[in-house]
Amino acid sequence: MSINNEWLDTYYAEVGREIDVASSQLHDTTNWSIGIAMAAVSTLAISERPYPDVWTFGVVVVGFVLVMRFFIRSCLAYANLDKWSKIHRLITKYRLQTGSADTDSLGRDIEEAIQQYHIEWRSPKPPWALLWSNLKLGYLYLFLVLSCLLVAGVIVGCCEPVVWVMTAAWIACVIYEVVIFPRRTYFKAGTLDLSARARGKG
């Protein structure tokens, strides 16, 4: 494959900027989620009434839903960072090996990576791998703390009808996000089959 080097240099610089944007978004969404979770827990700590009452339980429900929403945004930022990083790595290898016997195969890999990750906006990882990768960033602990508070709230305040309404809303939001997550186009995994050289083998 013959690649226009002038175009590739311009594209390479743009990919670098996209990596910076995705990295900043991932950092921001994670920090916002931590802030929201801490605010929800702090509300319980400063409340004059024992948990749960309608107010504090509602705060935890809203906190969980917001953290879930930022978690999805974090998954998107992570997927973008992953795809741009892979394209950037391929172009770097191509530029370092220009004129070698591997140039053509690397050129084809770049073309396929751009097609799947940029034009079709596919993810390098399948949806559930994205979920687990982001949970390991710290979201697992946030969801664990908020879920324990919600379960405790349901058990202790089960006689309150409004608690059941808020619990149903919480469960509905979780189910919606889980069901719709793998159906979003930008979370669907690509089928890129890189050459052995591009994978660093050989």
Is 90 part of any domain? yes
Task: Tell me how many domains the chain contains.
Answer: 1
* pLDDT computed for residue 36 by the predictor: 95
Is 85 part of any domain? yes
Tens of pLDDT, residues 110-153: 989 999 999 988 988 898 999 999 999 889 999 999 999 998 88
Residue 194 has pLDDT above 80, yes or no: no
Is 50 part of any domain? yes
Other beta carbons within 10 angstroms of residue 196's beta carbon come to 10
**Using CA atoms, how far apart are residues 90 and 129, in angstroms rounded to an integer?**
22
- The vertex-143 CA angle with 133 and 146, nearest 5°, equals 170
Is 66 part of any domain? yes
Is 200 part of any domain? no
| Overall pTM surpassing 0.75 (yes/no) | yes
* pLDDT computed for residue 158 by the predictor: 62
Q: Which domain holds residue 155?
A: 5-187
Tens of pLDDT, residues 45-55: 888 888 888 88
User: Read out DSSP for 130-180?
Assistant: HHHHHIIIIIHHHHHHHHHHHHHHHHHTTT-HHHHHHHHHHHHHHHHHHHH
Q: What pLDDT band is residue 196 in, cutting at 50, 70 and 90?
A: very low
Is 201 part of any domain? no
Is 195 part of any domain? no
The tally of CA atoms less than 13 A away on the side-chain side of residue 179 is: 6
